[in-house]
């Protein structure tokens, strides 16, 4: 199982210096990947949680990380498809892949917040059907010399998009999903699946099974798919659930995830309210991140 680490993109520790430090230190320690995530807005009452109150844009942040690293994969988990017109997202991700030397992993989802949908002028109705049309169209911008499309939701006149991504066929697309139809979509259409911050680490294998079954039914080889777990760890003195407890206890949970079919795990401290909050002490958050980087290194 490959091990990655999330960049500091949420809360007070999401600073220029800390972004550079975490990414370069992860590269030094042999981590496979560094990750960001998207949150456009948050409610005034903070009801979505501390981690969503202040979040850097992931495309911009990942581009910045690309300029300060040379080896680690760079993942975004996830960008919400309905917030972008297909050619716009295709261009942004192709450019990022070129600038990173072909190191991008594109985690994509369909979002869950009505407030964000309303603010970007998108319609939540039928968003699953939109994704079915969107995902193959995105890939066509990365592979076809000329793209022409007239679908139920999107229309593209005969046009070209260049330059193509550095990775042949474009960056791997990992679908963020939890509902069964979306999990099955990941198995049919994508390079793999990435779990949410709310996924139960003890039951993640159930989702892996659904994705694999859908891939096999579509004539794809499930063994070729990637299963990425966002490890929303919380380092605490008391053990309450997997990925929460002491550094040693959390490290021991890695085998639990691997046994359930997870192929990649990235440690994400942004979802710890003691770290990924605008009110947290950024120096203390970074000290804890340094400990975690050392403890969880491959």
pLDDT confidence bin for 283, thresholds 50/70/90: very high
pLDDT tens per residue, range 51-84? 999 999 999 999 999 999 999 999 999 999 999 9
pLDDT tens per residue, range 115-173? 999 999 999 999 999 999 999 999 999 999 999 999 999 999 999 999 999 999 999 99
The pLDDT score that the predictor gives to residue 60 is 98
The pLDDT score that the predictor gives to residue 15 is 98
The pTM for the full model equals: 0.97
Secondary structure letter of residue 10 according to DSSP: B
**CA nearest neighbour of 286 among 109, 46, 70, 21:** 21
* pLDDT more than 70, % of the chain: 100
The pLDDT score that the predictor gives to residue 286 is 98
* pLDDT more than 90, % of the chain: 100
The pLDDT score that the predictor gives to residue 220 is 98
12-36: burial string, b at 16+ Cβ within 10 Å, e else:
bbbeeebbbbbbbbbbeeebbbbbb
């Amino acid at each position: 199982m490959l091990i990655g680490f999330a960049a500091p993109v949420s809360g007070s520790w999401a600073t220029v210096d800390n972004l550079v430090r975490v990414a370069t230190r992860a590269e030094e320690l042999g981590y496979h990947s560094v990750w960001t995530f998207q949150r456009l807005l948050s409610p005034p009452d903070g009801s979505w949680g501390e981690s969503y109150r202040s979040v850097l844009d992931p495309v911009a942040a990942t581009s910045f990380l690309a300029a300060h690293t040379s080896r680690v994969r760079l993942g975004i988990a996830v960008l919400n498809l309905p917030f972008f017109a297909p050619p716009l997202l295709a261009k942004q991700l192709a450019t990022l892949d070129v600038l990173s030397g072909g190191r991008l992993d594109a985690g994509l989802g369909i979002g869950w917040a009505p407030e964000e949908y309303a603010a970007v002028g998108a319609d939540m109705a039928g968003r699953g059907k939109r994704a079915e049309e969107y995902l193959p169209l995105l890939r066509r911008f990365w592979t076809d010399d000329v793209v022409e499309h007239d679908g139920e939701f999107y229309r593209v006149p005969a046009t070209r998009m260049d330059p193509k991504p550095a990775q042949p066929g474009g960056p791997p697309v990992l679908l963020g999903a939890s509902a069964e139809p979306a999990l099955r979509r990941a198995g049919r259409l994508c390079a793999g699946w990435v779990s949410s911050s709310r996924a139960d680490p003890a039951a993640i294998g159930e989702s892996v099974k659904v994705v694999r079954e859908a891939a096999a039914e579509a004539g794809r080889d499930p063994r070729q798919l990637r299963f990425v777990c966002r490890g929303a760890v919380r380092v605490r003195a008391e053990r309450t659930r997997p990925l929460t407890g002491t550094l040693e206890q959390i490290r021991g949970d890695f085998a639990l995830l691997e046994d359930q079919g997870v192929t990649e795990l990235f440690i994400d401290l942004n979802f710890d309210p003691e770290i990924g909050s605008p009110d947290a002490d950024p120096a203390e958050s970074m000290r804890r991140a340094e400990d975690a980087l050392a403890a969880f290194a491959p």
